[in-house]
Amino acid sequence: MTAGRVVRALALGTVVVALLAWARTPPSLETRLRAALAAQGPDYIPRTHHLNPDGSPIYVNRLMLEASPYLLQHAHNPVDWYPWGDAAFAKARAENKPVLLSVGYSTCHWCHVMERESFEDAEIAAYLNEHYVAIKVDREERPDVDAIYMAAVHHMAGRGGWPMTVWLTADRKPFYAGTYFPPRTGARGARTGFLELLRQLRTFHDEDPAKVAAAATDIAERVAASLRVEPAEALPSAAPLRVAFQQAVGSFDAEWGGFGAAPKFPSTVRLEFLLRYHRRTADARALDMVTRTLEAMARGGIHDHVGGGFHRYSTDRQWLVPHFEKMLYDNALLTAAFLEAHQVTRRTDFADVVRSTLAYVEREMTDPAGGFYAATDADSEGEEGTFFVWTPAQIRAALPPEQAELAIAYFAVTDQGNFEGRNILRTPEPLATVAARLGRAPDEARRQIDAARTALRRARAARVPPHTDHKVIAAWNGLMISAFARAARDLGESRFAAVATRAADGVLRRLGDGERLRRHALGARATGTGFLADYAFLVAGLLDLHEATFESRWLERAVALQGTLDAHFADDTGGGYFATPDDHEALLAREKPDYDGAEPSGNAVALQNLLRLHSLTTDDAYRARADALLRAFGRGLQRHPSAMARLLVGLDYRLDRAKEIIIVTPAARDAAAPLLQQLRETYVPNHVLVVVPAGAEQHAVARRIPLVADKIVTNGKPTAYVCEERVCELPTTDPAVFSRQIARVEPFE
């Protein structure tokens, strides 16, 4: 068989399969591909336009054997894809070929565009297969690979994103990189298209291998240097907090909320930092930036006003036109931000956003086997946003006339539309203002809009939905478990704790592997190594669930997972945690993440976990690890504090006198409700909370949480002990006194 030819007509029952082969396809691989395709069943619809007359796929490649939904999306491209692994690089070395690394994820709009334009293109695929070894990576499955090569993209291209496209030598070093490339010169105005770039870089690789090797080595060394962390000698002071606040003031969009120009991202960790800064300084500007940003997002098109939840980001300053994919982590982090803002302001509209977001997650993103799905796509019916937009006629068809009139006015729907002739729903005016203009009573208008949302959601469900990525990712589930648990605690609604409990049980059952964690599960198959974020985010979720339910098992599991993190990820010399465990595959560098990206950095979340565990258990080893972590990133906090907003949140905890709150009840924990109501109405971000009945359970809990010992019930009433650094104020049964105790704030020194 000659190189570059496609072998066709390998019968699989009535299915005709073409296996890409550039030498002879190993019989074992052929057998596995046949079995994997057959296992999809008769209703399987291949994601490709390369089809046989009977609808079966012409091409099947190695990605058919993978668990990742993103890799499976590319299993029928005419590209001879390899998953990340030694086999691909061994082939590149043996055949003296460069490697084309393509990184994306299953709900990425521009990943889909590049697939349709380039990876489904027969000419481009043939060139790739002849002259390269092509590797596909799911960034959600391998965040370690993504982080290393994204650093290279930033060094070479000045900015990053997905799809990420990197040219590597056979020893895994990058020598050219970018993101999305149009297929050919001239397409989308490109001066150099993807096919032409493939040809030029292959020529460069062959004609001047020494120069390629030198460039690749230089870039690899730059990447490794950029990821090295130089510890500070002392703990950071409050100075980075003040600098980050001034930087937020300088970049705040006073007209539309948020920070910087388009595109705009939610920046939830920055909002959490600003709420803490406001608490410690009483600077009204900090709270104003938070509330105006949350208001603008809640009113804008980034918010799904029919189904609940938020899209990925806004393409404009006004938060109007979103990138329509929905990510689990965004909705978890936004829930937390709206919850905290509700606690500070007591605004019911912020609490309403929390409830509608969590209702969306429970309804559409919950895996019956336990846990939450990863994401939904931006595209449906081949276009971005089709599922989410409306015309006036569609709204009138779905609603009774009076309801339709109100909905069209409230959601600012016009005949011209605001997105390609259709309307992204938004709410630029308060409902009371719209109701008054239409002569409707406010309460009746609220009832009608609630009914309209339900009816529109039902009508929308008849459309072709966007693809849902059904992966259950440990880290993202940790964030969403936190969101539900904190909503239960801060809104006093136990139903949210029940959802968090089911998810935590499911995630630990499905992803637990002895003392270790798997990265994700799809159906019954759990795969991948757990990374720093998986442990840190899940520990945080379990600590929040412990405070929502007061069940000791969640604290025990959090302590155990933290022990695994300490054993396999900690840098005992330099402080902090590496992104990968000590027995993981060696990449160009071992990253120790500090900057926040779409998710908070794993080290920042680990810092808060350590401080909370120290407050609960009084084990000074946790405080020592927290201090070593802060010293590890101290220089970075001085230089780039705004890029490390979640670390600033942890630093605020460390510089504060965190409240250790113990409530002892005479019988059931329910008796503590009046005291807990005061805690819900008071913004106390730096605290730990234990509620325990006096007696045998109290003695059992005290073995893990020593502060619980010797606390007694006063006058037969639930009694609160508010402590700082293990020194407690006088116990109280009076909710008003308790409120004053927990509200006391230490200003920055």
Instruction: List, for residues 75-111, the tens digit of each pLDDT value.
Output: 999 999 999 999 999 999 999 999 999 999 998 989 9
Does residue 416 register a pLDDT over 70?
yes
* Residue 413, Cβ density class (10 Å: 0-12 exposed, 13-18 middle, ≥19 buried): buried
Residue 21 pLDDT grade (very low, low, confident, very high; cuts 50, 70, 90)? very low
- pLDDT tens-digit map of 511-553: 999 999 999 999 889 999 999 999 999 999 999 999 999 999 9
Q: What percent of the chain stands above pLDDT 90?
A: 89
**Residue 475, helix vs strand vs coil:** helix
The phi, psi pair for 455, rounded to 5°, reads -70, -40
User: What is the crossing angle of helices 122-131 and 194-207, to 10°?
Assistant: 20
Q: How many angstroms separate the first and last alpha carbons of the chain?
A: 75
Residue 25 pLDDT grade (very low, low, confident, very high; cuts 50, 70, 90)? low
Average pLDDT in the chain: 93
Residue 9 pLDDT grade (very low, low, confident, very high; cuts 50, 70, 90)? very low
Does residue 2 register a pLDDT over 80?
no
Does residue 23 register a pLDDT over 60?
no
Same fold for the pair 6-227 and 659-743: yes
Q: Do the Cβ atoms of 109 and 162 come closer than 8 Å?
A: no
pLDDT at 26: 74
Of 7-21, 216-230, 396-410, 622-636, the range with the lowest mean pLDDT is: 7-21
Residue 379 pLDDT grade (very low, low, confident, very high; cuts 50, 70, 90)? confident
Of 138-147, 234-243, 380-389, 427-436, the range with the lowest mean pLDDT is: 380-389
**Cα distance between residue 271 and residue 459, in whole Å:** 35
pLDDT at 134: 98
Each domain of the chain, given as residue ranges in start order, spans: 6-227, 386-465, 659-743
Residue 748 pLDDT grade (very low, low, confident, very high; cuts 50, 70, 90)? confident
pLDDT at 475: 98
Does residue 22 register a pLDDT over 60?
no
Of 15-24, 398-407, 726-735, the range with the lowest mean pLDDT is: 15-24
pTM over 0.75: yes
Does residue 33 register a pLDDT over 70?
yes
User: What is the pLDDT averaged over residues 289-310?
Assistant: 98
Continuous segment of H or E residues that includes residue 647: helix 645-655
**Residue 593, helix vs strand vs coil:** coil
- pLDDT tens-digit map of 681-715: 999 999 999 999 999 999 999 999 999 999 999 99
pLDDT at 736: 97
pLDDT at 159: 83
The phi, psi pair for 621, rounded to 5°, reads -65, -35
- The label of the residue with tokens 């009046």 reads 674
Residue 3 pLDDT grade (very low, low, confident, very high; cuts 50, 70, 90)? very low
- pLDDT tens-digit map of 156-169: 988 888 999 999 99
CATH number of 659-743: 3.40.30
Phi-psi region of 426 (alpha: psi -120 to 50; beta: other; left: phi over 0): beta
**Cα distance between residue 284 and residue 306, in whole Å:** 33
Does residue 503 register a pLDDT over 70?
yes
- The label of the residue with tokens 């409990």 reads 501
User: What is the pLDDT averaged over residues 49-56?
Assistant: 90
The phi, psi pair for 598, rounded to 5°, reads -65, -30
The residue type found at 446 is R
User: What is the pLDDT averaged over residues 358-377?
Assistant: 96
User: What is the pLDDT averaged over residues 636-654?
Assistant: 97
CATH number of 6-227: 3.40.30.10
* Contacting residues for 156 by C-beta, under 8 A, at least 6 apart: 174, 176, 177, 178, 219
